[in-house]
Amino acid sequence: MAERSFDLAVIGAGPAGMAAATSAAEAGLRTLVIDEAPRPGGQVYRAPPAEFLPQGTDADRRIGDELRTALAESGAELALDHRLWWIGEGFELAAVGPGGPHRFSARALLVATGTTERILPFPGWTTPGVIGLAAATILLKADGVVPGERVVVAGAGPLLPLVAAKAVAAGASVAAIVDLARPSDWASAVIRGRSRPDLLARGAGWLRRLAMARVPWWSARAVVNVSTTAEGLSIDTLAVNADGEPQPGTRRKIGADALCIGHGLVPSTEVTRLLGAAHVFRPEVGGWVADVDELGRTNVPHLYVAGDAAGVEGAAAAPLAGRLAALAAVHDLGRLDATHLARRSDPFVARRRGVARFGKAMAGLARLRSGLLDAATPDTIICRCEDVTRAEIDGAIDTGARDVNQLKAWTRCGMGPCQGRMCGEAVGELVGAQVGGRAQAGLWTGRAPLRPVPLEDLVGGYDYADIPIPQAAPL
């Protein structure tokens, strides 16, 4: 398989990756962008097929189109619909695309892989009809599909009113918003986020739509159980305290045919973990992140991280972080001297600090409330890939598992196709509670494949008859 070489490979074509690749290509680096999505945009500017929505009416659509146009004109090469699954030393990259497997190499690597949803399991969370809150944005934005006709939207953070308002606009009925935060949490987030009145105004628009549709908003409450009835889902909720601990005697039930539930976003660190970069635990930006300087440099030479993968700062800060990391790469590869690096990066550093304040305020609303795990009973599945229950995890901890890697080896939790992206937060919290905190519980070592890859794509078609059978060894 022929390998193609680049100066810089950017993983992820969200706002951080698009801006980074555009800057790097404009500065003369041979730049490659890899993304598993069919179009650039990432999560927030995910582009629906052109025939789905009226063009140019939506602010996200307009900003996304500007970034896409700049990228297309920059000369960067795009490998879309390509899942990156392996990275070797010196930045050898293996991806699977529509035409099968592809190999690339790059002198520098810029990771802009964004986030994944934080999943906190409770009894019934794997029931059909229960989906992630962020996943619901994909259904609504990219596929033009409502998750159900009667929907409950639950969890924490700004995706709650966004998903509920989009569901209402798409014709669904929202039975209730079940919010972990209290009104005072929202008030302080709005005060902290006042640097972006335009984004606050957008949020106010969602609230107006929800008020007009008379959507009930249940504050300081959590979903603690989901079961199925002939009518659909039966959803149990309890009031929670500030740590998310459910309060007995406060049960309220509600029926729906879909539950969209999410507890915030977690930076995607699988690439930097695989490459052995140093990481730090920073709960205020989502948890474990690569330890980077202001320009996004890790301690691994020529390895950079930008956007939410380096800590959740939101969509407005991501392109600025992308440009900064690209400038660092251009300098480190010898195309920009230190004086020009400082002159060009300083304004982006200042602007990023300003807009990141808004993103961090919103991320704070969806901070991890560890008491929520009290709802997970012994037979609740924690790792749905490997069917590992809470009882098995508690048992391994009681037997002496002292960090998440030990627990993984003992239970297979986190070894399935998602490589711990779904169970990682719950496992980290459960181990952390016994060993003095999340930082002490550690983070999972990175392992290939970064994404599930069909074996057929890697080895091609084969016939069992062609597999050589070794001769028996003479005694």
Ligand X SMILES: Cc1cc2nc3c(=O)[nH]c(=O)nc-3n(C[C@H](O)[C@H](O)[C@H](O)COP(=O)(O)OP(=O)(O)OC[C@H]3O[C@@H](n4cnc5c(N)ncnc54)[C@H](O)[C@@H]3O)c2cc1C
Work out how close the CB of 248 gets to ligand X at its nearest, in angstroms, rounded to a whole number. Answer: 33
Count residues near ligand X (CB under 6 A). Answer: 37
Among 51-59, 133-141, 215-223, 432-440, the segment contacting ligand X (CB under 6 A): 133-141
28-57 positions binding ligand X, by CB under 6 A: 34-37, 42-44
450 counts as binding ligand X under rule CB under 6 A: yes
Among 188-196, 311-319, 331-339, 385-393, the segment contacting ligand X (CB under 6 A): 311-319
Which is it for strands 381-383 and 388-389: parallel, antiparallel or unpaired?
antiparallel
Out of 23, 31, 115, 411, point to the residue binding ligand X (CB under 6 A).
115
Residue 473 region, left (φ>0) first, then alpha (ψ -120 to 50), else beta? beta
Work out how close the CB of 464 gets to ligand X at its nearest, in angstroms, rounded to a whole number. Answer: 31
Out of 8, 24, 47, 84, point to the residue binding ligand X (CB under 6 A).
84
Taking Cα atoms as reference points, which of 93, 446, 89 lies closest to residue 301?
89
252-271 positions binding ligand X, by CB under 6 A: 265, 268
Work out how close the CB of 12 gets to ligand X at its nearest, in angstroms, rounded to a whole number. Answer: 3
Q: Which of 135/349 has CB closer to ligand X?
A: 135
268-307 positions binding ligand X, by CB under 6 A: 268, 307
SS3 249: coil
Within 8 A by CB and 6+ apart from 256, the residues are: 129, 148, 150, 151, 152, 175, 232, 233, 235
451 counts as binding ligand X under rule CB under 6 A: yes
Taking Cα atoms as reference points, which of 325, 341, 334 lies closest to residue 20?
325
CA angle 457, 21, 82 (to 5 degrees): 10
d(CA 412, CA 10) in angstroms, rounded, equals 32
12 counts as binding ligand X under rule CB under 6 A: yes
Among 64-72, 120-128, 129-137, 411-419, the segment contacting ligand X (CB under 6 A): 129-137
16 counts as binding ligand X under rule CB under 6 A: yes
The three state secondary structure string of 114-139 is CEEECCCCCCCCCCCCEEEHHHHHHH
Out of 74, 113, 345, 389, point to the residue binding ligand X (CB under 6 A).
113
203 counts as binding ligand X under rule CB under 6 A: no
383 counts as binding ligand X under rule CB under 6 A: no
SS3 211: helix
Q: What is the layout of strands, in order, in the sheet containing 232-239?
A: 221-229, 232-239, 252-256
SS3 238: strand
68 counts as binding ligand X under rule CB under 6 A: no
240 DSSP 8-state letter: B
414 counts as binding ligand X under rule CB under 6 A: no
220 counts as binding ligand X under rule CB under 6 A: no
157 counts as binding ligand X under rule CB under 6 A: no
Phi, psi dihedral angles at 387 (to 5 degrees):
55, 45
SS3 347: helix
Work out how close the CB of 401 gets to ligand X at its nearest, in angstroms, rounded to a whole number. Answer: 28
Among 14-22, 174-182, 245-253, 347-355, the segment contacting ligand X (CB under 6 A): 14-22
From the centroid of its chain, how far is CA 227? 27
d(CA 361, CA 17) in angstroms, rounded, equals 23
94 counts as binding ligand X under rule CB under 6 A: no
15 counts as binding ligand X under rule CB under 6 A: yes
| Chain positions contacting ligand X, by CB under 6 A | 11-17, 34-37, 42-44, 83-84, 112-117, 134-135, 137-138, 162, 265, 268, 307-309, 314-315, 318, 450-451
